[in-house]
A and B are shown apart, each in its own frame.
Chain A
Amino acid sequence: MTFLDLAGTVFVILGALLFASAALGIIRFFDPYTRISAVGTAGGLGIVLVVVGALLMQPTVTDTVKVLLIIGLQLATSAIGSIAIARSAYLTGAKVQRSLYNDLEPRR
């Protein structure tokens, strides 16, 4: 087992643990907005860690270029998807629960 294999294994397991945390988050958190935040950990850093770890196990030059493209695309598209879901969740009337401040609702 070389150093790259070891680093790849660590990255893959860290990324998988982020997925587990996100899964725990969508079960434990209490409204759609906090759940989107939990999924954001997996969709951003989680996938990046898993893919980089997979690359480190069999590194080639072409795959490195592809992984850089994947990271850029994944960060951009997961952000757009999260914004779209949050916006439609608000439009369908999901309340921001336990909020300490809310500028979209008139003051009580």
Chain B
Amino acid sequence: MSWISWPFRLLALALWFVKEIVVSNVAVVWDNLTPGQNSTPGLARFVTRCRTDAEITLLASMITLTPGTLTVGTTIDDDDDERPGAKILFVHAMYSPDADHLREELLDMESRMLRAFRRRGDQS
């Protein structure tokens, strides 16, 4: 993708993110106001494709800003088999039935973020 569409991609990311914040707020508030708990909490390890500190900070902040998911910590895995030196997030989630489901959601958010944030839109 060319750099001409960069500002529009950032704007599209912002709009999508506003929608996402509202949807997840409604989910948390609904669970809170109805009696009983229907949350399925858990903590998953997520290998990101972020290269710079700015990208991983933005991704961690976006994960934390959507209520229900929360970044607990980051680390760098130098012994990873596929990608040595990959940046890793530990994410706590309330409404994902299992770790793989949560990782798929995070992968979607990460793809959108990288497509919008990188000027060329590359994702690897």
Contact = CB atoms under 8 A, between A and B. Distances in A.
Interface in B42-85: 42-45, 60-62, 64-65, 67-73
A41 B92 CA distance: 16
Q: What's the dominant secondary structure at chain B's contact region? A: mixed
Interface string A21-42: 1001100111101101110110
B16 to A, nearest CB: 15
Contacts of A98: 39, 41
Contacts of A36: 70
Given A31-B41, A101-B98, A102-B43, 11 more contacts: A34-B41, A37-B92, A40-B65, A40-B67, A40-B70, A44-B21, A86-B73, A97-B41, A98-B41, A102-B42, A103-B44
Interface of B: 21-22, 25, 28-29, 32-33, 37, 39-45, 60-62, 64-65, 67-73, 90, 92, 94, 97-99
